[in-house]
Amino acid sequence: MRNTRTILRSIFLLAAGTLMALPAHASQLVLGSLEEPPNLSALTDLPHHFPEHVPQTLLFDSLTQFMPDGTVRPKLAARWEVSKDGRVYTFTLVPNAKFHDGTPVTAEDVKFTFDAAKDPATKSSDEGLETVEKVEVLNPRTVRVTLSKLTPQFLAEGGARGIVPKHVLAGKDLATDPFNLKPVGSGPYRLVSFTPGQAIVFAAVPDFYRGAPKIERIVFKILPDQNVILTQLRAGEIQYALLQPRDLPVVEHTAGLRVVESPTPRFYDLTLNYQRPYWQDRRVREAILRGIDREAIVQKVLLGHGQVIAANATPASWAFSKDVPTYPTDPDRAQQLLNEAGWRPGPDGIRMKNGVPLRFTVMLKNVDRTLEQVFVITQQRLKPLGVDLRIERVEPGVFPQRMRGGQFDALSRVWNPVYDPDQSNQLKTGNRYGGYSNPEVDALLARTLGTLDRAQRKQAYAALQRALSQDLARLYLFTENELHVAPVGLRGIQWHPVNIFWNLKDWTLDK
């Protein structure tokens, strides 16, 4: 029939058309990401994890640079002085930094950025700037920031805030301005295009004040599904992505790709709600921890790409201490502890005390597949001990409300202390993260925040980790490594606990 023939002919023509080669770019790196940044302004939030921080790191420079070893180096601020009481910072800016529209970066822009981030009406995040009291412009290159109290995290966290241009944004509604989608920054790359749901394209700024970036174009592709990312890696359509441990075999069979494994300060724990009477007995806490086979979890769920932790810092953090008690898995010891605590096996095998069964529910976010696997394993491990663990998966939008409202027995999630190890808001007396309270821990938390001296803080953190582990404030589980897949010819990647893209401008890509 004529119709059929016509259709076949068009299909053939289409197929032939597809054999044309794709246009190649001089030097271009294509990243794939599951997540899409809601907008590109540096005022929205501090970048916390891949892939969020790619756009911000590329588009905006900040006053300081948080280094892999946890120290802080100059960036837009060439140098700074700190007053004796640690409350007043005077930053001197580099003379040659420019926004992408050619306007110099001045002290006015720093003041504008900090003020805007602090202003609730702009719907911005004031993360890292919570204690900023006053920002004064002394001259175009000098800005003075006064804090309400000594804040050792300020230089790293507040210093990481990307500086936005005052001359573009002054007088605008920052919550709705088109700037959020087409920002003008002072970073090593400028924005070429942002197509929501699809891609963000960046081009190198040739006259960048810290030296021109080596890779000319960065494409940040938004892909909705991990399987799509894997297929695109295999098809050579993207060259860089974040992997799950189970994805590794795919990459191993694809030529030209390699895996960069990156330890992180991220960790998982079991946060206990101290309103529940059973958690108030330390023996129960230790028994549960000894019943969870954390080594097996790291091997089976993370496929070995992680590590068991003893307290709230991981080896990737400068605050990490090795000198912390650990509680190796020991079901016999767990049984013994539960017996001592008065929990006796009931008729159905579940332990009972005063007529109450030893039963608790772990609340997880329903998007967290890793933790779901972890607690299915844990459920099976705790059952022979006479502990009935149940799993409840809730929507991410509901999770914070339940957590802060104390509507849970125990919860598990990832904690991500990125720029500074401080977690006082979760641990000090009166916290709304399960209500743990311990005067010794309170005193140590105060010590960790009482000085700018790194060595003294490190000591205080070591003591804090010991205290938390001794008291089993929470049941600390494990840390996971990030698995980045990159082209073999990509050079210059340097490990960083927060942001592996921190030195992206110095990366090179072999042809």
Partner 1 sequence: MLGFVLRRLLQAALTLLTLLALVFAVLRLAPGGPAYALLGPDRYTPERAALIESQLGLDQPVPEQARRWVLQFTHGELGYSYFHHRPALAVVRDRLLATLILGGLAFLLALLVGIPTGVWAAVRQGQWVDRVLSRAAVVVLATPSFWLGIGLILLCSAWLRVLPSAGWAPIGGGATLGERLRYLLLPLITLAASHAASLALYTRTAMREALAADHTRTAYAVGIPARRVIWRYALATAALPVVTMAGLMLAHFLEGSLVVETVFAWPGIGQLTVASITRRDYPVLLVVTLFVGIMVLGANLLTDCVGRWLDPRVERV
Stretch that binds partner 1, among 20-28, 319-327, 349-357, 472-480 (CB under 8 A): 20-28
Tell which residue, 162, 151, 163, 159, has the closest CA to residue 72: 159
Beta bridge partners of 204: 189
Nearer to partner 1 by C-beta: 221 or 484? 221
Distance between CA atoms of 251 and 126, rounded to whole angstroms?
39
Is 413 a binding residue for partner 1 by CB under 8 A? The answer is yes
Distance between CA atoms of 480 and 497, rounded to whole angstroms?
12
Structure tokens at 291: 């019943």
Nearer to partner 1 by C-beta: 265 or 291? 265
Stretch that binds partner 1, among 141-149, 188-196, 309-317, 441-449 (CB under 8 A): 188-196
Nearer to partner 1 by C-beta: 254 or 336? 254
Report angle CA 34, 38, 40 to the nearest 5 degrees. Answer: 105
Residue 337: CB minimum distance to partner 1, A: 31
Is 1 a binding residue for partner 1 by CB under 8 A? The answer is yes
Q: Please report, for the chain, how many H helices and E strands are present, in that order.
A: 15, 24
DSSP H or E segment with residue 311: none
Nearer to partner 1 by C-beta: 102 or 197? 197
Q: Angle, to 10 degrees, between the axis of helix 454-471 and the axis of helix 439-448?
A: 160
Residue 94: CB minimum distance to partner 1, A: 31
The residue behind tokens 């942001």 is: 499
Nearer to partner 1 by C-beta: 191 or 324? 191
Contact with partner 1 (CB under 8 A): which of 147, 201, 270, 374?
Answer: 201
Residue 154: CB minimum distance to partner 1, A: 17
Q: Is 443 helix (H, G, I), strand (E, B) or coil?
A: helix
Is 395 a binding residue for partner 1 by CB under 8 A? The answer is yes
Structure tokens at 437: 């309270």
Is 371 a binding residue for partner 1 by CB under 8 A? The answer is no
Structure tokens at 436: 């743990």
Tell which residue, 380, 404, 408, 405, has the closest CA to residue 392: 408
Is 20 a binding residue for partner 1 by CB under 8 A? The answer is yes
Nearer to partner 1 by C-beta: 94 or 181? 181
Report angle CA 98, 101, 102 to the nearest 5 degrees. Answer: 45
x/- mask, partner 1, residues 93-122, rule CB under 8 A, reads: ---------------------------x--
Is 38 a binding residue for partner 1 by CB under 8 A? The answer is yes
Is 369 a binding residue for partner 1 by CB under 8 A? The answer is no
Tell which residue, 361, 365, 337, has the closest CA to residue 351: 337
Tell which residue, 269, 222, 226, has the closest CA to residue 246: 226
Is 19 a binding residue for partner 1 by CB under 8 A? The answer is yes
Which residues contact residue 8 at a Cβ distance below 8 angstroms, ignoring those fewer than 6 apart?
A: none
Nearer to partner 1 by C-beta: 218 or 338? 218
Residue 38: CB minimum distance to partner 1, A: 5
Is 380 a binding residue for partner 1 by CB under 8 A? The answer is no
Which residues contact residue 309 at a Cβ distance below 8 angstroms, ignoring those fewer than 6 apart?
A: 267, 476, 477, 478, 479
Distance between CA atoms of 38 and 262, rounded to whole angstroms?
26
User: Please, which of residues 218-237 interact with partner 1 by CB under 8 A?
Assistant: 219, 221-225, 227-228, 231-232, 234-237
Is 192 a binding residue for partner 1 by CB under 8 A? The answer is yes
Is 508 a binding residue for partner 1 by CB under 8 A? The answer is no
Q: How many residues bind partner 1 (CB under 8 A)?
A: 57
Contact with partner 1 (CB under 8 A): which of 95, 328, 349, 400?
Answer: 400
Is 125 a binding residue for partner 1 by CB under 8 A? The answer is yes
Contact with partner 1 (CB under 8 A): which of 115, 127, 330, 442?
Answer: 127
Residue 234: CB minimum distance to partner 1, A: 4
Beta bridge partners of 261: 483
Distance between CA atoms of 175 and 181, rounded to whole angstroms?
11
DSSP state of 163: P
Distance between CA atoms of 278 and 358, rounded to whole angstroms?
8
Structure tokens at 231: 């297929």
Is 176 a binding residue for partner 1 by CB under 8 A? The answer is yes
Alpha helices for 341-396 (secondary structure H): 369-382
Stretch that binds partner 1, among 17-25, 55-63, 101-109, 300-308 (CB under 8 A): 17-25
Per CB under 8 A, residues contacting partner 1 are 1, 3-4, 7, 14-15, 17-20, 22-23, 30, 38-39, 120, 123, 125, 127, 175-176, 178, 180-181, 192-193, 195-199, 201, 219, 221-225, 227-228, 231-232, 234-237, 367, 395-401, 403-404, 413
